[in-house]
Amino acid sequence: MCGIFACHGHPDVQKFKPTALKLAKQVRHRGPDWSGNITCNQTILCHERLSIVGVESGAQPLTNADDSIILAVNGEIYNHRMIRKHLKNTYHFKTHSDCEVIIPLYQEHDLNAPQHLDGMFSFVLYDKKQDRTIAARDPIGITTFYQGWSWKEPGAVYFASELKCLYPVCDKIIAFPPGHVYDSKTGETTRYFQPSWWDPKNVPTQPVDLKVLRHALEKSVRKRLMAEVPYGVLLSGGLDSSLVAAIAQRETLRLQKAAQDAATYTENKDADRGEGLVGIDDDGDLSTQTYMPQLNSFSIGLPGSPDNEAALKVAKFLGTRHHVMTFTIEDGLNALSDVIYHLESYDVTTIRASTPMYLLSRKIKAMGIKMVLSGEGSDEAFGGYLYFHNAPDRESFHEETVRRVKNLHYADCLRANKSTSAWGLEARVPFLDKEFLETAMGFDPKDKMITKDRIEKYIIRKAFDTSDEPGAEPYLPDEILWRQKEQFSDGVGYGWIDGLKDNAELHVTDEMMKNPKAEWGTDIPETKEAYWYRLMFDEHFPPRCASTVQRWTPTWSKQTDPSGRAIAVHDKKYDNAC
């Protein structure tokens, strides 16, 4: 991930520039490799870079041949080579950056440019000739992005990757809506992402095709191996991360063999360090690929945690080079304030799950890894949370999956993006590929529903079950492929959540619960743990930032604790938890 800050329409942009650079510096953790900025007319674009593709030549902001278009991007464009190949007009590319294709796309398609991008992105583009700024965010909101305004400069509009860049100068801030594009010429923000599943009332009737589903996820993972730096996989030992790891390992081994067969790989010191490149295909199926001797996988948990134990089984089965990190409850508690600062949220579920991910990301980055694959999004698309056992009918089931996917930018996308970006690490999420989502969300929800004979996420499990395919190698051990859903904050060790609750009791009294802060309005924490997180949030951010936070709660359930093990169908109880 990278970090961007931009302002359009500032009345004295030269005077504002020193402030803009200080604000951009607030997200340097996202992009520690280089900093850049360009000022033009009443607009300034600042960029903090994490180099993954086009490492040597992709410094930003990017410009076209006559410098009339300026672009700052946070993201990865997986179909950039295909776009370059099929542009209608000749364009002189200055870099090998995957993001530079946004400029010629804008020249050819104007506000429709984001529709042609396949990837995760937030960008701000300034057109000098029109004195026009457009900004856009990827369809699901995998990259974090915010927009703000100030009464002091009523004609100005601000954009940034994180809240901490905006609240010092803006009195109104919103989370920029995913799948939308903003145009300064009209001041309007319009939705460009219009998939078939967007309206939850249009319930699909197409029966599931398991082969199509499997191939769609395999293709999504392959896209995300586009890198010129060492990469790895986050492996919790649950279904989703294990499937991603299994596909990534198969693809890594296939690429190694292809490279050897084609005599494009030589055993030299650079390759041993993971720097040998394999260029394959110009049509987007595979792109620039870093060869690594072994795929690195990573897991974290308390000593004896369910996730670490399961992850070790998966890693041994797949043959990945696995790294286990253990943390103590005290380690997590000590990091809480920093985690909330980076998350810019006080949502209970997000904070619980983000803390171990934040700790693990620091270890991963210290090893020289700059990109990891992760399993977010599967539970939303397939109804994998345990509360989906209570879905009353297929229509309600589908409506809830649509709602969850639409709100991912407030929850798991935010967690995956900010927990890793805090240490200059990039997380890529294959389950949220827009092509894969079109497939996954297009099947009859009746096939996804949980029954006596079907565990949660049955169809994605069955799609990768090769037991009835003669001679086929299994993707995963059966005990992993059919493992019950375990939320990440539970799987790292049940003592983690219990420790958080116990410490909340020490910081929040019954009297405080009865008298919440007046500035919280109707957004009142229901538990002492939630109250404690809100207090820490307020230490970092003013009340106006709370409008960008949404709290995660399960549907069809009266529980106040969002933990999966608080659902009745969970097969482990508090009294026998580790």
Instruction: Give pLDDT, residue 293.
Output: 59
3-state class (DSSP) for residue 113: helix
Evaluate the CA torsion angle 108, 72, 244, 490 in order and state its sign: negative
Report residue 570's pLDDT band, with 50, 70 and 90 as the boundaries.
Answer: low
Binding-site residue positions: 98, 234, 300, 374-375
| Whole-Å CA distances, 221 to 277, 459, 530, 535 | 18, 18, 35, 39
Report residue 573's pLDDT band, with 50, 70 and 90 as the boundaries.
Answer: very low
Would you say 37 and 23 are in contact if contact means Cβ atoms under 8 Å apart? no
Structure confidence by residue, pLDDT tens digits, 326-368: 999 999 999 999 999 999 999 999 999 999 999 999 999 999 9
DSSP track, 12-43: THHHHHHHHHHHHHTTTTT-TTEEEEEEETTE
Domain range enclosing 560 = 210-576
Question: Where is the domain boundary, 127, 161, 191?
Answer: 191
Give yes or no: residues 98 and 127 share one domain.
Answer: yes
Cα dihedral: 226, 227, 228, 230 (round 10): -130
d(CA 391, CA 414) in angstroms, rounded, equals 26
Give yes or no: residues 282 and 365 share one domain.
Answer: yes
Instruction: Give pLDDT, residue 24.
Output: 97
Asked, for residue 181, whether it belongs to a domain, the answer is yes
Asked, for residue 53, whether it belongs to a domain, the answer is yes
Q: Say which CATH number the domain at 136 has.
A: 3.60.20.10
Asked, for residue 198, whether it belongs to a domain, the answer is no
3-state class (DSSP) for residue 123: strand
Total count of residues recorded for the chain: 578
Give yes or no: residues 146 and 264 share one domain.
Answer: no
Give yes or no: residues 174 and 214 share one domain.
Answer: no
Single-letter code of the amino acid located at 116: H
Instruction: Give pLDDT, residue 58.
Output: 57
Q: Report residue 88 as tokens.
A: 């209608």
Beta-strand runs (E) in 250-403: 276-278, 289-291, 296-301, 321-326, 371-373
Single-letter code of the amino acid located at 349: T
Query: Does the pLDDT at position 215 exceed 80?
Result: yes
Beta-strand runs (E) in 253-390: 276-278, 289-291, 296-301, 321-326, 371-373
**438-473 burial by CB neighbour count: b if 16+ within 10 A, else e?**
ebbbbbebbbbbbeeeebbbbbbbbbbbeeeeeeee
| Whole-Å CA distances, 260 to 228, 250, 276, 278, 282 | 19, 15, 12, 10, 20
Structure confidence by residue, pLDDT tens digits, 543-565: 999 999 999 989 998 776 766 55
Report residue 50's pLDDT band, with 50, 70 and 90 as the boundaries.
Answer: confident
Give yes or no: residues 178 and 270 share one domain.
Answer: no
Structure confidence by residue, pLDDT tens digits, 403-453: 999 999 999 999 999 999 999 999 999 999 999 999 999 999 999 999 999
Residue linked to tokens 């057109």: 127
Give yes or no: residues 61 and 180 share one domain.
Answer: yes
Instruction: Give pLDDT, residue 329.
Output: 95
Would you say 274 and 301 are in contact if contact means Cβ atoms under 8 Å apart? no
Give yes or no: residues 249 and 173 share one domain.
Answer: no
Average pLDDT, the chain: 90
Instruction: Give pLDDT, residue 576.
Output: 38
Query: Does the pLDDT at position 274 exceed 50?
Result: no
Report residue 56's pLDDT band, with 50, 70 and 90 as the boundaries.
Answer: low
Closest CA to 94 of 278, 102, 117: 102
Q: Say which CATH number the domain at 513 has.
A: 3.40.50.620
Residue linked to tokens 């769609």: 216
From 191-205, 288-302, 524-538, the region with the lowest mean pLDDT: 288-302
Quote the percentage of the chain above a pLDDT of 90: 80
List Cβ neighbours of 481 (8 Å cut-off, separation of 6 or more).
239, 242, 461, 464, 465, 474, 475
What are the residue numbers of the active site? 2
Give yes or no: residues 226 and 183 share one domain.
Answer: no
Beta-strand runs (E) in 207-361: 231-234, 276-278, 289-291, 296-301, 321-326
Instruction: Give pLDDT, residue 494.
Output: 79
Asked, for residue 256, whether it belongs to a domain, the answer is yes
Binding-site residue positions for L-glutamine: 98
Binding-site residue positions for ATP: 234, 300, 374-375
d(CA 331, CA 166) in angstroms, rounded, equals 30
Closest CA to 7 of 180, 17, 172: 17
Report residue 471's pLDDT band, with 50, 70 and 90 as the boundaries.
Answer: very high
Asked, for residue 202, whether it belongs to a domain, the answer is no
What does the angle CA 23 – CA 348 – CA 533 come to, to the nearest 5 degrees? 60
Asked, for residue 33, whether it belongs to a domain, the answer is yes
pTM of the model: 0.92
Asked, for residue 201, whether it belongs to a domain, the answer is no
Query: Does the pLDDT at position 485 exceed 90?
Result: no
Give yes or no: residues 424 and 371 share one domain.
Answer: yes
Asked, for residue 130, whether it belongs to a domain, the answer is yes
Give yes or no: residues 247 and 103 share one domain.
Answer: no
Question: Where is the domain boundary, 157, 191, 225?
Answer: 191
Would you say 101 and 73 are in contact if contact means Cβ atoms under 8 Å apart? no
Give yes or no: residues 514 and 371 share one domain.
Answer: yes
The H-or-E segment that residue 137 falls in is: strand 132-137
The mean pLDDT value for 520-528 works out to 95
Q: Please name every residue paired with 174 in a beta bridge, in sequence order, or none if there are none.
A: 147
Question: Where is the domain boundary, 159, 191, 223?
Answer: 191
Give yes or no: residues 429 and 486 share one domain.
Answer: yes
Instruction: Give pLDDT, residue 120.
Output: 98
From 71-80, 518-527, 550-559, the region with the lowest mean pLDDT: 550-559
Query: Does the pLDDT at position 400 exceed 80?
Result: yes
Instruction: Give pLDDT, residue 257.
Output: 81
Domain count, the chain: 2
Would you say 393 and 405 are in contact if contact means Cβ atoms under 8 Å apart? no
Structure confidence by residue, pLDDT tens digits, 102-139: 999 999 999 999 999 999 999 999 999 999 999 999 99
